[in-house]
Structure 1
Amino acid sequence: MPDQTDKTVEAQRQGIGSLEIGLRILDTLAESTRPMTLKQLPDVMELSSSRLHKYMVSLIRTGYIAQENGSGYILGKSSLTLGVAALSRIDPIQSAFSAVEALNRSSDKTVSITVWNGQAPLVIKWLDASQPVAVNVRLGMELSPFYSVSGRIFLAHLPSARRNQIVDAFYNNPPALPRYNGQTLDKPAFLSHLEQVKQDNLCCFYGDFLPDINVVGSAIHDINGNISSVVSLMGINGDTDVRPGSRYSEMVKECARNVTEEICGRHNRPEPDVN
C-alpha cells in the first residue's frame, strides 16, 4: 500500500493540465513579436478554436491578456504586474555567482566572473579548482580587453563606435599584437575575430598568452540584450579541451545561457496533459 509520500509525489506529477495550458498561451503571446489572432493560436497551441476560446475569455476577464484594436491578442496589465514583480526580485550578479559555484563543483576547474568597468573587465568572482592553475589573476584585478577571453567578449559586444575607439587607440602603439590559436592578429583580423566571438558567444584561448593553460568564456546577457557579466573557465592544456563543441566549452556556454534565461525569464515549460 503506497504511503503518504508516494501520494504526494503522484499528486505533484499530475498537476493541473488546464492551468498549464493557460500558462502556455501566455508564453506563446510573450514570445510573439506581434499580436496573435484566434486563427493563429490554435495551430501553435494544437487546440481546437472552441476550446482555446474558453481559455481566452478567462484570461481576458482576469486581465492577463488583452485585445489590440479588437483583433490580435497581447499580454495584459496583470501579466505586466507579474513581470515587474519578478524583475524586481532578480539579482543578476548573485545568479551568476550561484551558477559558477555549481560550474566549479561539476568541472573541478578554475572559474571566474568579470564585469565591465567602463574600460576593461574586472574580476568579481574567482574560484580555484582542487588543483589551482598557476596564474597571476585574482579577485579584484582588472584584465586586458585584448589579452583576456572576457576582455574580447566585452569588446565584441560594445557599441561599434566605442569598440572602434578602444581598438584604434590600442593598435596605434600596441605593446604586443593579440594572438588567437597561435596566430598574431593585425587590426582587421582582430576585428573579424571579435565578430566571430559575438556570433558564437564564445571565446577560447589555447595557451596564447598563458603557456600550457587554456581558457574559455561566454557572456551572460540582461533583459535588454546587454552583457551583464562574463563567465570563464581555465585549466591545464593537457586535460582541459576548450575548443568549440568540447565538453568544457559547452559547460561554460550552458552556464551562461542558464543565467541569461533566469534573468530574462525565458524557459521551456513541460507539455501539459491535455486529455
Structure 2
Amino acid sequence: MAEEKTQGGVQSLEVGLKVLDALITHGTPMMLKQLAETLAMHPAKVHRYVVSLVRMDYAKQLVDGRYALGDQAWRLGLSCIQRTDTIQAAQPMIHELHQKIDCGLQISKWTSQGPLIVQWIEPNQAVSVITRVGSIMPMLNSATGRAYAAFMTEKAVQPLLEQEWQQKKNQAQAVYPANWSEFLEMKQGILQSGMATVSGDLLIGVNAICVPIFNIHDEVEFCIAALGAESQLPIDVENEKVKALKATAKALTEHISDGQKRLKDN
C-alpha cells in the first residue's frame, strides 16, 4: 500500500499508531469489530493495520480472535518506565539497601494490567524466582500485588481483583483473600504495618515483603519488594532487614517528594 503523505508526516503511520493507542487505552484484548467501532473505521481497514502491528510484534492475536498488545509494545513501555526520573534517582538508595540486607529486590510500577516488574537485583545467595523484568505480578498472592491493592484506590484495583477471583474460581483453586470482604480485612493490616507480605505463596520457602514509595501527591510512585529464604528474611517488623526496607521506602518518599516540590516551585 502506498504511503499517504501529509505535510511533515506520514498519514498511514499516524493511523497505525492510532490503532495501537486504542489497544493501549482499552487495557484488555479487543475483537476486530470492537476495535473498528472504537476508531470509527471500517473493519477491513483496521485489519490491515493490525496485521502490520502483529507482524512487527506490537500486537498479537489470541486464540479466541481478540487482539492484544504484543511483546514489542511491552518492551517499549518497559524501556520508558526504566528511564523515569524517579526510579533513576532512586538507584543509589536501592543498591545501598541491597548491600545492607542481601536479599533479592524487585522494583515495580503500576500499569492498567497490574504491577509490572521493571528491575530485579539478584541477591548474593541464590533465590529462585518465577518472575522476571517485564512480568505482571498477581494481585492476590504476591507481596507486590497486595501492596498496590492496599495503597492504591479501590476503583483502580477492584476490577483486577475481581478478574483474578474469577480465574481462580474457573480453575477451582483456593486463594486468600478469597473475596472483597477478606481483602478489606487484609488491607487494614497492610496499611497499619506499612508493608505487604507473602510466605511461600508463589515460591515454597521464600518470603516476600513489599513496601510502597509515594510521590508529592501521596500516590504510589513505585514499590520495592525484598525476596529471601524464610531463614534469611523473616516476616517480622522488628527484624533489622525489614526495618531497613521500610526506612529506605520512607527516605525515598521524602527524597522524591522534595524533588517534585522543588520542580513545582521553580
User: TM-score normalized by structure 2?
Assistant: 0.60
Query: Partners of 2:132 and 2:92 in 1: how far apart?
Result: 19
Q: Residue 110 of structure 1: which of 99, 104, 113 is its match? A: 104
Say whether the 8 Å CA contact 1:242–1:248 is kept in structure 2.
Answer: no
Deviation at 1:120, TM superposition (A): 1.1
Deviation at 1:124, TM superposition (A): 1.0
What is aligned with 1:207? 200
The alignment partner of 1:136 has SS state of coil
Q: Residue 101 of structure 1: which of 95, 100, 105 is its match? A: 95
Deviation by residue 1:29-73 (Cα, 9 ceiling, x = unmatched): xxxxxxxxxxxxxxxxxxxxxxxxxxxxxxxxxxxxxxxxxxxxx
- Give the total of aligned pairs: 173
Deviation by residue 1:76-129 (Cα, 9 ceiling, x = unmatched): xxxxxxxxxxxxxx9311133222111111111111210011221111111111
Query: Partners of 1:141 and 1:166 in 2: how far apart?
Result: 15
Query: Partners of 1:97 and 1:150 in 2: how far apart?
Result: 19
Deviation at 1:173, TM superposition (A): 4.2
**Structure having greater relative contact order (Cα 8 Å, sep ≥ 6):** 1
Query: Partners of 2:194 and 2:158 in 1: how far apart?
Result: 19
Q: Residue 237 of structure 2: which of 216, 220, 244 is its match? A: 244
* Bigger radius of gyration: 1
Deviation by residue 1:192-214 (Cα, 9 ceiling, x = unmatched): 10232133320122223310101
Query: Partners of 1:144 and 1:167 in 2: how far apart?
Result: 9
What is aligned with 1:177? 174
Alpha-carbon RMSD: 2.1
What is aligned with 1:9? none
Q: Are positions 1:92 and 2:86 aligned together?
A: yes
Query: Partners of 1:143 and 1:112 in 2: how far apart?
Result: 11
Deviation by residue 1:175-203 (Cα, 9 ceiling, x = unmatched): 43334xxxx64431122102321333201
Structure 2 spans left out of the alignment, 5+ residues: 1-83, 260-266
After superposition, residues 1-80 of structure 1 pair within 5 angstroms as: none
What is aligned with 1:163? 157
The alignment partner of 2:246 has SS state of helix
User: TM-score normalized by structure 1?
Assistant: 0.58
Query: Partners of 1:201 and 1:143 in 2: how far apart?
Result: 19
Q: Residue 184 of structure 2: which of 187, 191, 195 is its match? A: 191
Deviation at 1:251, TM superposition (A): 1.3
What is aligned with 1:127? 121
Query: Partners of 1:171 and 1:185 in 2: how far apart?
Result: 7
The alignment partner of 1:238 has SS state of coil
Q: Percent identity?
A: 21
